[in-house]
Structure 1
Amino acid sequence: MPNIFTKHPHEVDETYLEHLATAGGFGLRMTLGGIACMIHAVLPFLFVNTASRTMCALHKKMNKRVDKVNWERHPII
């Protein structure tokens, strides 16, 4: 029986801990970028470019990761 904790990390050529760090880092940056965006919605003079810079940086990082795996088999949704 496959281990549900390691199946996907192995599919993307990572250990469980590597995947934990990578996915956790992405999630944290997305959360912080989202909070900055919500603050910007109320106070438009704050965090003017933070959310878009965060998205661009994460997109660039994700595209580098895609090269490591078969994109069609493991789409990022």
Structure 2
Amino acid sequence: MQLIQRLFREHPESVGESYLEHLFQASYFGVRMLAAGLACLLHAVLPCVFKTTGRTAISELHTKMVLHRAKHRD
């Protein structure tokens, strides 16, 4: 049982989330990063498209993560 606790609950609880909340948050971040990464690859080939998509995604995700963690600590 302690292994289950460590594998599935320790980290989510350390950031103030249940397992399911963490699953959805981490999935959102992953999908958002994949989409931004694809936009960056397209921008590499066609510099006229997605000029700020990567920067915007990084900024938004950073803000969301930092604000969430700060709220959890308070």
TM-score (norm 1): 0.82
Instruction: Name the CA distance, whole Å, in 2 between partners of 1:55 and 1:36.
Output: 12
Percent of residue pairs identical: 42
**Which consecutive residues of structure 2, in runs of 5 or more, have no partner in the other structure?**
none
Moved over 4 A (4+): none
Cα deviation code 1:24-51 (max 9, x no counterpart): 1011111110110010000001111111
Instruction: Name the CA distance, whole Å, in 2 between partners of 1:42 and 1:59.
Output: 26
What does 1:59-70 correspond to in 2, within 5 Å? 59-67=62-70, 68-69=72-73
Cα deviation, residue 61, structure 1:
0.6
Cα deviation, residue 55, structure 1:
0.8
Instruction: Name the CA distance, whole Å, in 1 between partners of 2:11 and 2:62.
Output: 20
Paired residues, what number? 70
Cα deviation, residue 66, structure 1:
2.2
Whether 1:44 and 2:47 are equivalent positions in the alignment is: yes
Cα deviation, residue 6, structure 1:
1.3
SS at 1:13's partner residue? Answer: coil
